[in-house]
Amino acid sequence: MKLVTAIIKPFKLDDVRKAISDVGVQGITVTEVRGFGRQRGHTEIYRGAEYVVEFVPKTKIEIAVENALVEPVIDAIHKTAQTGKVGDGKIFVFELTQVVRIRTGERDGSAI
């Protein structure tokens, strides 16, 4: 099992959600986050006072998947979240050692 974490542009969330449910993902966790990468922040000006906004708003999604689904999920996110400009985000994949469904106590494969 793997945990796929992706940082994407916020407006791509709907497209990504649709693409990964099409490949068979049952559920995801979404968080609004801020950060910076190669995409620098931007400048805001209020009555002549300039403020540099260093952290750009992004959306983080986390998906726990069976090994067989890892590649299709990565592929789906990569294709849908891409605009070709800096700031499209990243995908991180982690080993997942245990999963428990709280309602039933089911473990691992059947809990995903």
Closest C-alpha among 17, 24, 29 to residue 72: 24
Q: Decide: is 46 part of the binding site for other proteins (CB under 8 A).
A: yes
Provide the minimum distance between the beta carbon of 10 and other proteins in the complex, in angstroms, as a whole number.
Answer: 20
DSSP letters of 38-69? Answer: SS--EEEEETTEEEEE-SEEEEEEEEEE-HHH
Would you say 36 or 51 has its CB closer to other proteins?
51
Q: Decide: is 44 part of the binding site for other proteins (CB under 8 A).
A: yes
SS3 at position 14: helix
Q: Of these, 27, 38, 45, 95, which contacts other proteins (CB under 8 A)?
A: 45
Q: Decide: is 51 part of the binding site for other proteins (CB under 8 A).
A: yes
Q: Decide: is 41 part of the binding site for other proteins (CB under 8 A).
A: no
Structure letter (DSSP) for residue 37:
S
Point out which residues bind other proteins (CB under 8 A). 44-49, 51
